[in-house]
């Protein structure tokens, strides 16, 4: 018999099925995902890493305005999408490009926001991926609404809502957890704790034993996982999704990972942390360890390596081809989508700009 408190509190240690040396560990509550799932996940990780590094390169070449990279967090990115069914929803932030692409959204459309030719470039209804949210934690209550609507319609949709460690200090994080709990909506709140919010370390956001511990205050079960272990993340997130779908209400999952690069290309991390803090995390890299495990288990065939390599090369090429040309923009778009029917004032202002542009051209 476990008490209610025990059911709501996270594991004593972050769940880890494969350690940084690629060694397998048994866990009493979580099973190692199927071999094929791990192999597919490996390919996704390689692809995700390449998206991150190609996008960062494209910032340096002036093709993207900014890129908040998830380099080193790819296991979280990939796992969040892999555990979802087609009808489920993903609510991503600015840092979750890889997760969005993993869900099947076109990479160029995904990068529209950061390229700057529009705010959100993909159709949220095509793959059930909400627009990336920049105002921290504000997307979490939307996730509750989408999940609640699904429940009212009798659908078994689960919503995966992403945010960072810093975002857990925002009021909306707490309101979302509480609303989801009171209405028992099927949302998995997935916090990627990369230890930093721009320059501010987690110790200045909270002194709670862990972010996963915050769930108990709302009656939401919390769990934590090693954020660089794809196997553990798939197991923990998969179980959270299953529980939410089965009607057990919202779940909170914290992944313990690390932002090995600066917040974005515009940030200078040397102003607030030492390199020797970063070094050990490079050893915990999510790709390295899965590769080590798959190799030792004899699961990494030449075919798989080739598939991973080709997938990565293709996506990088696709990004370069798509992002190198100047994007076409249409000034009429400025006025087009504020209202179903534009106000008379917007019609006037659109005509004004059209006229101004016509005069410039002549």
Partner 1 sequence: MTHVKLTMAQALNQALRDAMKADDSVLMFGEDVGPLGGVFRITDGLTAEFGEDRCFDTPLAESGIVGMAVGLAMNGMRPVVEMQFDAFGYPAFEQIVSHVAKMRNRTRGRVALPMVIRMPYAGGIGGVEHHCDSSESYYAHTPGLTVVAPSTVADAYTLLRRAIEWPDPVVFMEPKKLYWAKEEVDLTEDVPGIGKAVVRREGADATLIAYGPSVPIAMEAAEVAAAEGRQLTVVDLRSVVPFDDETVCAAVRRTGRAVVVAEASGFASVSSEIVARVTERCFHSLAAPVRRVTGFDIPYPPPKLEKYQLPGVDRILDAVDDLQWEDS
Ligand X SMILES: Cc1ncc(C[n+]2csc(CCOP(=O)(O)OP(=O)(O)O)c2C)c(N)n1
Q: Which residues bind ligand X (CB under 6 A)?
A: 95, 134-136, 163-167, 194, 196-198, 259, 263
Partner whose footprint covers residue 167, from partner 1, ligand X, Mg ion, none (CB < 5 to 8 Å by kind): ligand X
Tokens 């791990």, residue?
38
Closest CB to ligand X among residues 136, 234: 136
Asked if 190 touches partner 1 (CB under 8 A), the answer is no
102 lies in the site for Mg ion, by CB under 5 A: no
Near partner 1 by CB under 8 A: residue from 19, 40, 106, 175: 175
339 touching partner 1, by CB under 8 A = yes
- CA 143/CA 250 separation, integer angstroms: 11
Please identify, using beta-carbon distances, which residue of 42 and 122 lies nearer to partner 1: 122
Choose the contact partner of 149 out of ligand X, partner 1, Mg ion, none; CB within 5 to 8 A by kind. partner 1
Nearest to 219 by CA among 250, 191, 188: 250
Contact 176, 250 (CB under 8 A): no
The smaller minimum CB distance to ligand X, of residues 262 and 294, is found at 262
Could you tell me the CA-to-CA distances from 5 to 2, 188, 209, 244 in Å, in that order?
Answer: 8, 19, 15, 19
**Which residues share a beta bridge with 254?**
191, 224
Within 8 A by CB and 6+ apart from 311, the residues are 43, 46, 47
Binding partner 1 (rule: CB under 8 A), the pick from 12, 271, 337, 359 is 337
Shortest distance, CB of residue 196 to ligand X, whole angstroms?
5
What region, left, alpha or beta, does residue 165 occupy, with left being phi > 0 and alpha being psi -120 to 50 degrees?
alpha
Find the binder of partner 1 among 76, 83, 144, 323 (CB under 8 A): 144
Helix residue spans in 246-329 (DSSP H):
275-283, 286-296, 302-323
Instruction: Decide: is 51 part of the binding site for partner 1 (CB under 8 A).
Output: no
User: Taking the chain, what is the end-to-end CA distance rounded to the nearest angstrom?
Assistant: 81
User: Is residue 205 close enough to count as binding Mg ion by CB under 5 A?
Assistant: no
Q: DSSP letters of 109-148?
A: HHTHHHHTS-S--S-HHHHTBPPPB-STTHHHHHHHHHHH
| Residues making contact with partner 1 (CB under 8 A) | 118-120, 123-125, 130-131, 135, 138, 140-150, 152-153, 171-172, 175-176, 178-179, 182, 333, 336-341, 343-345
| Residues making contact with Mg ion (CB under 5 A) | 164-165, 194, 196-197
């Amino acid at each position: 018999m476990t008490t209610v408190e025990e059911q709501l509190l996270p594991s004593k240690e972050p769940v880890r099925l494969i350690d940084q040396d690629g060694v397998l560990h048994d866990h009493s509550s979580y099973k190692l995902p199927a071999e094929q799932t791990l192999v597919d996940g490996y390919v996704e990780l390689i692809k995700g890493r390449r998206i991150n590094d190609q996008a960062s390169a494209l910032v340096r070449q002036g093709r993207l305005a900014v890129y908040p990279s998830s380099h080193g967090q790819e296991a979280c990115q990939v796992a969040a999408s892999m555990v979802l069914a087609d009808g489920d929803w993903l609510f991503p932030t600015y840092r979750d490009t890889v997760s969005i692409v993993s869900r099947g959204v076109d990479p160029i459309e995904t990068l529209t926001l950061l390229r700057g030719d529009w705010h959100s470039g993909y159709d949220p209804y095509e793959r059930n991926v909400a627009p990336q949210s920049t105002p921290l934690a504000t997307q979490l209550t939307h996730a509750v609404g989408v999940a609640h609507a699904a429940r009212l319609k009798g659908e078994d949709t689960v919503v995966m809502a992403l945010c960072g460690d810093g975002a857990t200090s925002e009021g909306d994080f707490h309101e979302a957890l509480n609303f989801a709990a009171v209405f028992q909506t099927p949302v998995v709140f997935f916090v990627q704790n990369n230890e930093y919010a721009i320059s501010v370390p987690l110790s200045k956001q909270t002194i709670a034993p862990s972010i996963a511990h915050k769930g108990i205050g709302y009656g939401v079960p919390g769990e934590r996982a090693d954020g660089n272990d794809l196997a553990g993340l798939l197991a923990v997130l998969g179980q959270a999704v299953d529980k939410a779908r089965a009607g057990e209400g919202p779940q909170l999952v914290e992944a313990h990972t690390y932002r090995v690069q600066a917040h974005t290309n515009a940030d200078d991390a040397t102003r607030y942390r030492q390199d020797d803090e970063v070094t050990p995390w490079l050893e915990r890299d999510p790709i390295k360890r899965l590769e080590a495990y798959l190799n030792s288990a004899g699961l990494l065939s030449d075919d798989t390596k080739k598939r991973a390599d080709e997938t990565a090369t293709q996506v990088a090429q696709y990004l370069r081809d798509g992002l190198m040309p100047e994007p076409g923009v249409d000034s009429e778009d400025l006025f087009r989508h504020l209202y179903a029917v534009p106000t008379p004032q917007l019609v006037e202002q659109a005509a004004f700009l059209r006229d101004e542009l016509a005069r410039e051209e002549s």
